[in-house]
Structure 1
């Protein structure tokens, strides 16, 4: 039996009244598991045909599926290929309400570990610009790894506090997600640490911090833009009351009416300080009402006005002719059609690391940036060694040389363990000469190898190798 804090029980009993028993009973139910298809890599038809898991659609998000708790999708080669992201089902509602469109500029302000960021990237379809920020350095690294795994090309990962970030991006973004750090009450069923850390004082501390983050986010939203605020907690202090206080001091914002949504309940005006009726347009997901953990969501719209053209200062692009020449030579050698990588000026050098960044990226000198764009590779003595991120961003049909291994076969496991493979006996391969080869699982890129003398030398990163 899950041990809930007594003060939390008393609070929820007071708030939920006749719903309280059903709510408490939900803690003894098995929690549901979810994963989300990655549209950057795979279509719905392909995914449902290939998936080895027993899946059921999640009603509030088109890319989302429930899977059985007995299955382990995190231990499958398709996971390493970035075909899906394992995510709690209710959290998927956030980006569904954000509704990002290809070509837009988007900010995910509190982005680790990357569920909402990778969801946004899938909706952008490689068009537009995505900044994913995380204040905690260790969590920002995990975020960056997930951006890489899912093959995101048009994303930047930063490690700033919200105020510092707002100084770089004033009124810059079309849409923003603020999945605010919270007391985590909605995660009590699966997270013992959240239960142990909870207290009424912690709730109030979170609410204060959430208000500050929301104000900084608002400063980065363009006039006419949309902001989605979300938490995975039940406390009105962190939900309706945060939104209410924000609206009272920001009259250029209003709550968007998103209509009824399957599985989502109305926010509760009676839990605010003034009872303002527009809080019914916000949303809650309850574990005793639907198959998901607790979540709160509010969609805010900034009033449209003419703010003038945003002044953008370009980053310092790489101008080293030798490095650019080596990059061009590399792409001409490995790609069927290298034009999309060659007719670009947006290469930058981070030490000896070469990146291709989005044309929308600003001058980021002084900003804490973990991943300024697509990591192309490492410059070594005037040659380019491609990165794992590049492999995951490429498709088999783009590459001159490739190997395609079945997910059910032993060779893919050997590759993921870092072993070398022989060219002999590979049934699915297009190999012509020594050099770089894109490794695939059932047609989807998973890493690089280098062919020499009939042997494929493994370049799967050591830190990711299976034991």
Structure 2
């Protein structure tokens, strides 16, 4: 691989005698990772299934490396949302930000969803997660990953930081900034990124990073935290960005991050930060800084969303009575023809570009309710009366994922939750032993 001379000089200045070790890391085999979705399965349970050759990622309790040549994306468990494919070092931001149950969290540069799915798993269905990406196209991929993971407490948006800051002053307990960057830490994994590297790109990224940090400063509560991360080595995008932010915001302080597993301190004087180098760890390059806001609390005036009336809920209530177990309570809202169940304390979002608010339960059309794919993915088998639960070895599993009609003599008539080994895949509608396939068209197995 031919590296730009300016980049070589930058890395030599940064690493000194370790530069040759860094260069040698390009000859090593890249690592492939996946992370267990603890909303659905524990890491131990996933490993015990023995479907892949898994070895633990030391800095992420739910993370594993898998063997090159294995194809976990072509497996029914992937379609069941049991894991997310993610490079091991990319698991560090979501693992190291101190999330607590009940937190209100913003993932401001969220697409395609690796960090969002990790944050949601750590929230465990509590609190609120706003997942935002300024690119509407990338936000669509984000939405699919939110839905396939069974996340029920998220709002997916596509807005610039300035617009969010105007609406969410002092609203969040934690904010994750996986900042746009020059991507130097990914050169080994994605060699084509080298071609687009130049010093103008670094300057452009630095400006974007400063803008995002500035607007996040006003959105985090006093006592709350911002985790800033990049996948680059450039000091100007990392420590320099953080130092400029601290100079402009004395109400923020750096919180020391753990320095185990081959992680090294940030460049002087910001040694509270963490750097990841591919010649030091089993993973690619990364940088992390954890900032905490101090001072007097500021009031939050963000209005919350109200619930619709019971009359509008009647079609869903009838469906729930026939199909679901238990009682369904909470804040329900209709967007277009979609019925959504919102997280407690969900903000009003009128005027914002929202792809999804909360858990999309289904659609209301002409006085009837039809359940959505997202609803199926967020359910547990025990919450549905009529279930077709097939073992992984059943050839009907793949046929279902391909959108085919199934023979299902064991299923009762009516709406049916289709599962593999107890994990939901989607809906079907059974009549006289035949299951009409309701799997999402855009998700079909190819």
TM range (shorter): over 0.9
Residue range with higher mean Cα deviation, 12-21 or 109-118:
12-21
Map 1:102-141 onto structure 2 (within 5 A).
Answer: 102-141=101-140
Task: Note the C-alpha offset of 1:318.
Answer: 2.8
**Alpha-carbon distance in 2 for matches of 1:413, 1:406:** 11
| 1:289 aligns with one of 276, 280, 302 | 280
Task: Note the C-alpha offset of 1:336.
Answer: 1.8
Task: Note the C-alpha offset of 1:237.
Answer: 0.5
Map 1:54-453 onto structure 2 (within 5 A).
Answer: 54-269=53-268, 277=269, 279-308=270-299, 310-319=300-309, 321=311, 323-337=312-326, 339=327, 341=328, 343-344=329-330, 346-424=331-409, 431-432=411-412, 434-453=413-432
CA contact (8 A) 2:261 2:281 kept: no
Deviations 1:4-55 (A, max 9, x none): 3332223212322211111111112111111100110012332122240010
Task: Note the C-alpha offset of 1:198.
Answer: 0.8
* CA 1:265–1:10: 2 relative to 1, 3 Å: same
Task: Note the C-alpha offset of 1:360.
Answer: 1.4
Deviations 1:315-348 (A, max 9, x none): 2533371x300011111211121x1x2x32x211
- Aligned equivalent of 1:273: none
**Alpha-carbon distance in 1 for matches of 2:204, 2:225:** 26
Task: Note the C-alpha offset of 1:268.
Answer: 1.1
**Alpha-carbon distance in 1 for matches of 2:28, 2:217:** 38
Runs of 4+ in 1 over 6 A off after TM superposition: none
Task: Note the C-alpha offset of 1:415.
Answer: 0.5
Deviations 1:39-96 (A, max 9, x none): 1001233212224001000010101011111111111110010000001111111122
Gaps of 5+ in 1: 270-276
Deviations 1:280-334 (A, max 9, x none): 11001100111010000001111042324x234232533371x300011111211
Gaps of 5+ in 2: none
Task: Note the C-alpha offset of 1:259.
Answer: 3.9
**Alpha-carbon distance in 2 for matches of 1:320, 1:366:** 25
**Alpha-carbon distance in 2 for matches of 1:242, 1:103:** 30
The alignment covers a number of residue pairs equal to 446
Query: Are positions 1:463 and 2:442 aligned together?
Result: yes
Deviations 1:197-250 (A, max 9, x none): 110111111011101111111110000001100000010010010001100110
**Alpha-carbon distance in 1 for matches of 2:61, 2:7:** 34
Which TM-score applies when normalising by structure 2? 0.97
Which TM-score applies when normalising by structure 1? 0.93
Deviations 1:122-181 (A, max 9, x none): 011101100000000110000010000000000010100011111111010001100100
